[in-house]
């Protein structure tokens, strides 16, 4: 009789501290997928290599609590340009381990995770591209690790330099709602009525198609990321909504530290983003080797809704390194 494996996990947890060699099979092709131990080997995160080239780019997805899926379109552009790219799902997200430990969901711990992933993948001369929350991580990683000799440059995609700056623009978008809808949204927010289906309908049905992704229908990888999001992480770090930040990212600010970033930096924004494109321009001016590119038709997911311009700007920068 064959063994019944239906109740067994295909993603076993690590029983003790593990190294990368004990997590990955040897001598077979696995489509670029590799487990990397994090938190000192207690957990593991899922990574995937696409393409091959001397220029290597590690992608940091947003959220917090989302996964890499919504970045799938990058594999249609970077590998064919001769660029080696790496996806990874942050701890608690997507294919990676999902421990029930709220002490793990904070900026400092995730920042340490990025370095563990870099080491696990053996990246010694690479570009870090962070989108949205991933852009926060990219800024902090550059400030902490730019002198380690591994970081070639960073791309800050669709993220501004502080939570307050983000909120100022996001709230402007909220105020574009018709007066009756705006009053209803603000009432539900003041009452903490986050589970009300009407709140979700207005935010995701009316506002998100304007400021998150402006093409219809949304690409399947994007809807997949939203469907699979770990909302426990999102709520702890961000809050219950894009418009009310109550989580532990509240108060984050890097405006007065941007001048300390010494590596070449591209700040990509979009005209219809929930991040103010004028703030993106200011950021690039404050970073000594900063450049800025604004996607004229794009929103927060400009690599989907202004795809041609986004990748034109991105590839030009990457090839200049």
Catalytic residues: 132, 273, 300
The answer for residues whose C-beta is within 8 angstroms of residue 106's C-beta and 6 or more apart is: 237, 248
The answer for residues whose C-beta is within 8 angstroms of residue 288's C-beta and 6 or more apart is: 259, 261, 262
Helix (H) or strand (E) run with residue 86 in it: strand 83-88
- Number of other residues whose CB lies within 10 A of the CB of residue 227: 8
CA angle 168, 170, 171 (to 5 degrees): 65
Rounded Cα gap, residues 125 and 99, in angstroms: 31
Closest CA relative to residue 152, chosen from 134, 162, 138: 138
In three-state form (DSSP H/G/I as H, E/B as E, the rest C), the secondary structure along 232-253 is HHHHHHCCCECCECCCCCCCCE
Give the E-state strand segments of 113-222 in sequence order.
126-131, 151-157
Helix (H) or strand (E) run with residue 197 in it: helix 197-202
Tokens 């990212």 map to which residue?
Answer: 249
8 A C-beta contact, residue 270 and residue 300:
yes
Rounded Cα gap, residues 92 and 233, in angstroms: 8
Helix (H) or strand (E) run with residue 88 in it: strand 83-88
8 A C-beta contact, residue 59 and residue 85:
yes
Half-sphere exposure of 256 (CA within 13 A, CB side): 2
């Amino acid at each position: 009789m064959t063994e019944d494996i239906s109740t067994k996990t295909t993603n076993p947890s690590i029983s003790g501290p593990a190294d990368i060699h004990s997590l990955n099979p040897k001598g077979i092709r696995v489509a670029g997928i590799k487990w990397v131990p994090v938190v000192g080997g207690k957990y593991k995160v899922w990574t995937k290599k696409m393409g091959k080239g001397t220029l290597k780019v590690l992608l940091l997805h947003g959220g917090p609590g989302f996964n890499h899926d919504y970045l799938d379109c990058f594999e249609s552009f970077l590998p064919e340009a001769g660029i080696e790219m790496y996806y990874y799902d942050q701890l608690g997200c997507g294919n990676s381990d999902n421990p029930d430990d709220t002490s793990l969901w904070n900026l400092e711990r995730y920042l340490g995770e990025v370095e563990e992933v870099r080491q696990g993948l053996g990246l010694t001369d690479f570009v870090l591209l962070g989108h949205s929350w991933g852009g926060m991580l990219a800024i902090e990683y550059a400030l902490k690790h730019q002198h380690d000799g591994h970081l070639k440059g960073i791309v800050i995609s669709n993220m501004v330099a502080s939570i307050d700056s983000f909120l100022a623009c996001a709230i402007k978008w909220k105020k574009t709602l018709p007066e009756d809808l705006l009053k209803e949204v603000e009432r539900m927010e003041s009452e903490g009525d986050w589970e009300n289906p009407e709140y979700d309908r207005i935010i995701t049905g009316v506002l998100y198609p304007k400021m998150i992704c402006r093409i219809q229908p949304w690409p399947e990888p994007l809807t997949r990321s939203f469907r699979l999001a770990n909302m426990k992480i999102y709520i702890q770090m961000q809050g219950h909504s894009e418009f009310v930040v109550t989580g532990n990212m509240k108060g984050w600010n890097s405006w007065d530290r941007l001048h300390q970033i010494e590596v070449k930096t591209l700040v990509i924004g979009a005209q219809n983003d929930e991040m103010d494109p004028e703030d993106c321009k200011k950021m690039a001016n404050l970073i000594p080797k900063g450049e800025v590119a604004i996607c004229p038709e794009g929103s927060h997911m400009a690599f989907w809704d202004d795809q041609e311009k986004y990748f034109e700007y991105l590839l030009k920068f990457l090839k200049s390194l």
